[in-house]
Amino acid sequence: MKVVKNIGLVISLIGFAIFTASIFTGKNKVNEEAFNSWASQQVKSEYFIENAKKEIVGKELSTAQLTSILIENAKKSNEYHKSQQEIAWEKIIWIKWNKTYKDFVYPLARASATGWVANNIGLFFLVTFGFAILGGLVYFGADYQLLGPPGIKNNGIFQHSATNRGILGMVAFVFFVGFYMLLYFFPNYLINPILSVNGISKGLSGNDSSQWFLYGFMYCAVMTVFAVRMFIKYRHNNYQIVRTAVVLFFQIAFAFLIPEILVAFNQPWFDFKNAWPLNYTFFFDWNINNLIGSGNLGIFMLVWGILLTLVIVPVMVYFYGKRWYCSWVCGCGGLAETLGDPYRQLSSKSLFSWKVERWLIHGVLVFATLMTALTLYTYFAEIESWKEVVFGLSAYDIQSSYGFFIGSIFSGVIGTGFYPILGNRVWCRFGCPLAAYMGLVQRFKSRFRITTNGGQCISCGNCSTYCEQGIDVRSYAQKGENIVRASCVGCGVCSAVCPRGVLKLENGPEKGRINPTQVLLGNDVDLLELMNEK
Amino acid sequence: MEHIVIIGNGISGVTAARHIRKLSDKKITIISSETPHFFSRTALMYIYMGHMKFENTKPYEDWFWSKNNIELKQARVNSIDTENKCLILENNESFPYDKLIIATGSKPNKFGWPGQDLEGVMGMYHKQDLEKLEKYAPNNKMCKRAVIVGGGLIGIELAEMLHSRNIPVTFLVRENSFWNGVLPEQESEMINKEILDNHIDLRLGVNLKEIKSDEKGQVKSIIITETGEEIECNVVGLTAGVSPNIEFVKSSNIETNRGVLVNRSLETNIKDIYAIGDCAEQRDAIGQRRPIEAVWYTGRMMGETVAQTICDNPTEYKPGHWFNSAKFIDIEYQTYGWVWAKPRENEARFFWQYKDGKKAIHINFDKESKEFIGINTFGIRMRHEFFDNVLTEKKSVNHVLAHLADANFDPEFYKQHEQEIVAKFNKEHGTNIKVKKKSWKRIFSKA
């Protein structure tokens, strides 16, 4: 069986290797028509169009060559325009590393992709995604036998380089961060991977695949493979099985299939479970206008989105805790609970990180709220979004800095890329404004708690070690206190790894939910009363 | 300011220190030679198994001690000079105290087996034992086989540890069935099976005759008394119980038997000297309890109690209803009240086992009055609070069965067995008990 596992690993790695190699081997051939159509949307400078066209059209170029020609020409063209007596500002091409490649270069690269991959999309899909998924399933499937009888099998986690910040962990870290950097800022280099899922995209929505479609598909594929790993690892634990199945369902159906199918019917791309403020663009003017302009369904989406945030989320958190969202529905949570599960023990449990966490996550919530308030103000006051309104900043400036720092860098590059270093809930723990909002409800007005079973705790620390949110669960359990922390996402792993049956996630009456104790159950009854009633 | 010195930084000593600090601003020093900081001894196994790092086993961050003004001293105490109220340390330093708490825990038993001090022979109790194990049994190439001698809780944990690194294990148990001095026959049999299911070579009813050495003074093999069989191995784990770690006390005039003798206030015969935890021996046993209880929970409770006495609130150690827990490889075990290995005169038993053989409950109750006496539960978690109340209020076995759903503490979505359990009881006892639906109101009204 070990051999089978290794074969699975090799197949999967071959898939990844081909996928990774294809990033650097994109080929482009721009025809005149494609160039003109691109240029008419992107550029006003005739100088640039004329020069770039000569160098590009009709030639077979690698994506890197195409990119550098476009950038060089843009620079030259800017110099030319700036040297004119009267500068034609609309003809300047703004070059910024985090915008230019995705907004300026990518559309042309995507439209002009050529080469072996472009002509063999099906086969290419098979040797990348096909191999990686198949190999992954074999690799984790073998655990069914290798792990031994059902039960908690965390053997060797802190002795393995991949799960204890060793070399393999660093490789994964570089790979994750690299992928997110390319995805968010340099999708022009991802042309081949994007092409690999073109067939699926066409089949679903009728559109060509974009980097976001690739991301969505990858997300579902990765979650599926790692969900199988969860099903096997926790096959004795129904809470984990049901939870994993549900969160996987919400990702595939709500975040991937339904939005694409909506697009196929000419409706707005809409993820019904993505609540503001996690979905920070929900109240942006373009989104509101888009929804209002999409007929009855669009209006429904708008109303649904508002209801979701204002009513459904807090009511559900009151009854079930924020776990109903964070570890049962949310896509970010879904990835953390599947791909991220092998890294959960790396989260820091120190008091210091708890302090950092509270400042950061509530800071982001404040940022998101202020940004949205300003956006809505400018929307209803009919102020142009580029007009400076506060401190010399426009609504657009604030939106784009939120999008860059929080939406891309924090939630993506750091939030997921740092799994192998900081544990699997980096974004959910330190950044997610929705988690912060729900955390406040959970802490102060909820029926959810993790009950500590009397005096049974032996302070072993499995619960704290495997808490992805870095909660020092043991510090409560060993005092006989229930755990009612704002950050708990209710993954249920503390309860699963406890060797003495001390912890249970429960929704019960608010009375007695918070139960500070001095002396634990099991000691002298008089002493208990004396101490605990003080 | 009064200086409280605590020897031993395990759960008992540390609990005492924490509670004294809560109640007073006395000067507190904890002395230990084992480690600079408190760690959870029960978690040592998880370090070897790779579930945790040593750091993770420390219940308090290192800054905790200075923040709470608890001094830590890493030293070994050689003897106690009760006349001059001071400790004599290994380097002959004398260390004064005003009040002394002895909380030195246990040490593994050795019964004078030939070869018991060879290289590669170890207990599994101290952090140093773990380091030894890591040295002699890092993997199954260095350690082709390990033999464990003694079938108790530590023995089975050590077996699980070695098994996690795929090291073949032979497990010698003196009794005819695992831990059957404590567990009734059915449960003991269930654990035998769990051990065998994990491919551990369980030998029941055998004793160790001797441990043989190779030319380098390292373990080569062991010999079994009964059969004379020689088993080659590189590591021998001695886990035949523990006894109080009190050698250094014996030269003083503090009264000892197997442990340091204490009265119900945890005081020794010498004023201002107390003993708590595994190393303390009650002069008169409390209820059905043994005079020495080497259990995490009792150590903690004694720490909670002695702190009261030291802080001018003289308090007797009056532990509540007996409870305990353990995990036998993959089977969790909890017990509340008393379920003896063999039923006593007045007792009746009810045993239920799930068809997969991994879950069971065993209830002990009074034949005549039907009063509930205790429960063993395997693979099903139960609520401590529920049974504590049942025992205090002397409820009947019928009450317990009717409220099993309230008592259940398994995670959500777990298969519930109450109906099946109660149906079996009804059939055996001709009763007509109906399981009540779980009620939050009942669960919390008692809290």
Q: Cβ of A6 under 8 Å from any chain B Cβ?
A: no
Tell me how close the Cα of A454 comes to any Cα of chain B, in angstroms.
5
Tell me how close the Cα of B232 comes to any Cα of chain A, in angstroms.
26
In this complex, which of A148, A460, A499 lies closest to B198 when CB atoms are compared?
A148
Does the pLDDT of residue B160 top 50, yes or no?
Answer: yes
Q: What is the second-level CATH architecture of the domain B323-445?
A: 2-Layer Sandwich (3.30)
Asked if residue A182 lies in contact with residue A190, where contact means CB atoms within 8 angstroms, the answer is yes
User: B315, A524: Cβ pair inside 8 Å?
Assistant: yes
Q: What pLDDT, on a 0 to 100 scale, did the predictor assign at position B201?
A: 98
In this complex, which of B42, B50, B197 lies closest to A155 when CB atoms are compared?
B50
Query: Considering just the CA atoms, what is the radius of gyration of chain A in Å?
Result: 26
CATH code of the domain made up of B3-107+243-310: 3.50.50.60
Q: Which fold has domain A446-532?
A: Alpha-Beta Plaits (3.30.70)
In this complex, which of A492, A511, A519 lies closest to B304 when CB atoms are compared?
A519
User: A155, B11: Cβ pair inside 8 Å?
Assistant: no
pLDDT in tens, B67-95: 999 999 999 999 999 999 999 999 999 99
Does the pLDDT of residue B446 top 60, yes or no?
Answer: no
In this complex, which of A149, A155, A492 lies closest to B411 when CB atoms are compared?
A492
Asked if residue B114 lies in contact with residue B211, where contact means CB atoms within 8 angstroms, the answer is yes
Q: Cβ of B112 under 8 Å from any chain A Cβ?
A: no
Residues B330-355: what's their mean pLDDT?
A: 97
Residues B186-205: what's their mean pLDDT?
A: 97
- Residues from chain A that touch B46, judged by Cβ atoms under 8 A, are 460-462
User: B320, A525: Cβ pair inside 8 Å?
Assistant: yes
Who contacts B66 (Cβ-Cβ below 8 Å, separation ≥6)?
A: none
Q: What pLDDT, on a 0 to 100 scale, did the predictor assign at position A525?
A: 66
- Residues from chain A that touch B411, judged by Cβ atoms under 8 A, are 237-239, 492, 495-496, 504-505
Residues 300-319 of A with CB under 8 A from B: none
Q: What is the mean pLDDT of chain B?
A: 96
pLDDT in tens, chain A (534 residues): 899 999 999 999 999 999 999 998 888 999 999 999 999 999 999 999 999 999 999 999 999 999 999 999 999 999 999 999 888 899 999 999 999 999 999 999 999 999 899 999 999 999 999 999 999 999 999 999 999 999 999 999 999 999 999 999 999 999 999 999 999 999 999 999 999 999 999 999 999 999 999 999 999 999 999 999 999 999 999 999 999 999 999 999 999 999 999 999 999 999 999 999 999 999 999 999 999 999 999 999 999 999 999 999 999 999 999 999 999 999 999 999 999 999 999 999 999 999 999 999 999 999 999 999 999 999 999 988 888 888 888 999 999 999 999 999 999 999 999 999 999 999 999 999 999 999 999 999 999 999 999 999 999 999 999 999 999 999 999 999 999 999 999 999 999 999 999 999 999 999 888 888 777 787 776 766 666 655
Report which of B86, B82, B104 is spatially closest to residue B95, judged by C-alpha positions: B86
- CA A148 – CA B165 distance, rounded (Å): 12
> In degrees rounded to 5, what are phi and psi of residue A48?
-65, -45
Question: Which segments of A381-487 does DSSP mark as H helices, in order?
Answer: 395-402, 419-422, 426-430, 433-444, 462-465, 473-477
Q: What pLDDT, on a 0 to 100 scale, did the predictor assign at position B444?
A: 77
Q: What pLDDT, on a 0 to 100 scale, did the predictor assign at position B323?
A: 96
Asked if residue A230 lies in contact with residue A222, where contact means CB atoms within 8 angstroms, the answer is no
User: B411, A495: Cβ pair inside 8 Å?
Assistant: yes
Report which of A423, A459, A455 is spatially closest to residue A532, judged by C-alpha positions: A455
In this complex, which of A150, A238, A454 lies closest to B385 when CB atoms are compared?
A454
Domain residue limits, chain A? 27-114, 446-532
Tell me how close the Cα of A305 comes to any Cα of chain B, in angstroms.
30
Q: Cβ of A171 under 8 Å from any chain B Cβ?
A: no
Phi-psi region of B217 (alpha: psi -120 to 50; beta: other; left: phi over 0): left
Is 0.90 exceeded by the ipTM?
Answer: yes
With cut-offs at 50, 70 and 90, classify the pLDDT of residue B447: very low
User: B330, A149: Cβ pair inside 8 Å?
Assistant: yes
User: B50, A154: Cβ pair inside 8 Å?
Assistant: yes
Closest residue, chain A, to B315 (C-alpha)? A527
User: A453, B381: Cβ pair inside 8 Å?
Assistant: yes
User: A238, B443: Cβ pair inside 8 Å?
Assistant: no
Residues in chain A: 534
Run of H or E including B31: strand B27-32
DSSP secondary structure string, B370-413? -BEEEEEEESS-B-HHHHHHHHHTT-BHHHHHHTHHHHB-PPTT
- Residues from chain B that touch A505, judged by Cβ atoms under 8 A, are 411-412
Q: Cβ of A327 under 8 Å from any chain B Cβ?
A: no
Q: Cβ of B198 under 8 Å from any chain A Cβ?
A: yes
Q: What pLDDT, on a 0 to 100 scale, did the predictor assign at position A533?
A: 58
Q: Say if strands B260-262 and B280-282 run parallel, antiparallel, or are unpaired.
A: parallel
Q: What sign results for the dihedral spanned by CA atoms B329, B331, B332, B337?
A: negative
- Residues from chain A that touch B162, judged by Cβ atoms under 8 A, are none
Assigned token pair, A313: 């989320």
The CATH number fitting domain B121-240, selected from 1.10.287.3610, 3.30.70.360, 3.50.50.60, 3.40.50.1380: 3.50.50.60
Assigned token pair, B102: 């002895």
Tell me how close the Cα of A386 comes to any Cα of chain B, in angstroms.
50
Residues B253-275: what's their mean pLDDT?
A: 97
User: A461, B164: Cβ pair inside 8 Å?
Assistant: no
- Residues from chain A that touch B61, judged by Cβ atoms under 8 A, are 350-351
Closest residue, chain B, to A148 (C-alpha)? B198
pTM for the full model?
0.95
Asked if residue A450 lies in contact with residue A483, where contact means CB atoms within 8 angstroms, the answer is yes
Residue holding tokens 């827990």? B325
User: A508, B22: Cβ pair inside 8 Å?
Assistant: no
Neighbour-count burial of B35, counting CB atoms closer than 10 A to its CB (0-12 exposed, 13-18 middle, 19+ buried):
middle
pLDDT in tens, B8-55: 999 999 999 999 999 999 999 999 999 999 999 999 999 999 999 999
Q: CB contacts < 8 Å between A and B, how many?
A: 179
Q: Cβ of B265 under 8 Å from any chain A Cβ?
A: no
In this complex, which of A238, A460, A523 lies closest to B304 when CB atoms are compared?
A523
- CA A394 – CA A398 distance, rounded (Å): 6
User: A499, B327: Cβ pair inside 8 Å?
Assistant: yes
Tell me the one-letter amino acid at A255.
A
Give the mutation candidate from B46, B331, B390 for the A interface (greatest A CB count, under 10 A): B46
